[in-house]
Amino acid sequence: METPTMEIKSTECDALRVKEAEEMLRELGHIYAVALAQRGHNIDGKSHLTNGLAAYYILDLKGEVEGLDDAVDAVVRIIYEEVRRKLSPIGVGE
C-alpha cells in the first residue's frame, strides 16, 4: 500500500506535467494569434490555449514538435473529462 506522501508527490508531478502542457499550448497559441493578426484576421476573444489547440490541428503539427503531442493529449483529456462531468447526470460516469 502506498503512503499518502507518495500519492501527493504523484499528484504534484501530474499537476506539473499539465502546467507544462498548458504553457506549451499557450505559447503556440500566442505565436499563431500573432501570425493571424499580422495577416489581418480578427482573433479577439480567443484564449492562447484555444488558439494553440486550433494551430495544432489546423497546421497538422502531430509529430512535428517534441512533447507537443503529449501536451495536446493531456489538455484535451482534461477538457473532455470536465465537459463529461458537467453534462452527465449526478453520479453517472464517475
- Is residue 51 within 8 A of residue 32, CB to CB? The reply is yes
pLDDT of residue 2: 42
pLDDT of residue 85: 85
Q: Is the pTM of this model over 0.75?
A: no
Q: Where are the domains of the chain?
A: 4-87
Buried-exposed string 51-67: b where 16+ CB fall within 10 A, e elsewhere:
bbbbbbeeeeeeeeeee
Query: Chain-wide mean pLDDT for the chain?
Result: 82
CA distances from 90 to 78, 83, 93 (A): 19, 13, 9
